[in-house]
Structure 1
């Protein structure tokens, strides 16, 4: 369940008292117009508050997407380096391809040596042993 970051609730727009604490009316004439004006001003306040929350949400979303973009660029660079290492290795030049008639054990050691060679390649080690921020 996600962590609640913001709570947006509508407030009562027309809940205003047109009388003071002593019970005397604050507005003597045109009470309907006073209630309408109060309701409209409260609606505008709520819309302004909602706009501020939306701006906050979208600025936070923008920051998160920029972080994702940066991490994607780093991952893409690592993939390109590893792709270069793998493409640099040509299996046709290796003796492994020509050993299909050998028993399994010598082929296994040859395959293990090929993997070890790739793992110790400086470009591969540079990419794989980086510490991510």
Structure 2
């Protein structure tokens, strides 16, 4: 089970702090919609930052995997060249029938 690295939770968009007695209440629909829009954009920005970090981690892991694959490819190529240079008629091969009895 993988561990959660990030937690993205929605925030309340249109909730306001209790108004002071001296400040006029924000009842204008345009003001409320502007506040909701700006908070929505802020949440989308935070989500985009999380997505960017996820893709950056994915890119780093893929680059590391690519390096490992290149190293393995080099080792396999070396083994293939070594095997093609061997002559089976000149090399002595022992029998292992005593070790592996089926």
What band does the TM-score fall into relative to the shorter chain? 0.7 to 0.9
Task: Establish whether residue 72 from structure 1 lines up as the match of residue 69 from structure 2.
Answer: yes
> Which of 47, 50, 60 lines up with 2:47 in the alignment?
50
Cα shift readout 1:16-61 (whole Å, capped 9, x = no counterpart): 13622xxx37445752222111111100110111111111111111
* Counterparts of 1:29 and 1:46, CA distance in 2: 22
| More helix per residue | 1
Cα shift readout 1:79-113 (whole Å, capped 9, x = no counterpart): 0001111111232x248xxxxxxxxxxxxxx5328
Task: Supply the RMSD in Å over aligned alpha carbons.
Answer: 2.2
**TM-score after normalising by structure 1:** 0.62
* Counterparts of 1:46 and 1:18, CA distance in 2: 22
* Counterparts of 2:35 and 2:3, CA distance in 1: 35
Aligned residues: 95
4+ residue segments displaced more than 2 Å: 24-31, 110-113
* Counterparts of 2:90 and 2:64, CA distance in 1: 42
**TM-score after normalising by structure 2:** 0.79
Task: Establish whether residue 40 from structure 1 lines up as the match of residue 37 from structure 2.
Answer: yes
Q: Which runs of 5+ in 1 are unaligned?
A: 96-109, 114-133
In structure 1, the partner of 2:94 is 112
Q: Which runs of 5+ in 2 are unaligned?
A: 96-102
Instruction: Work out whether residues 18 and 25 of structure 1, in 8 Å CA contact, stay in contact via their aligned partners in 2.
Output: no
Whose RCO is larger (CA < 8 A, sep 6+)? 2
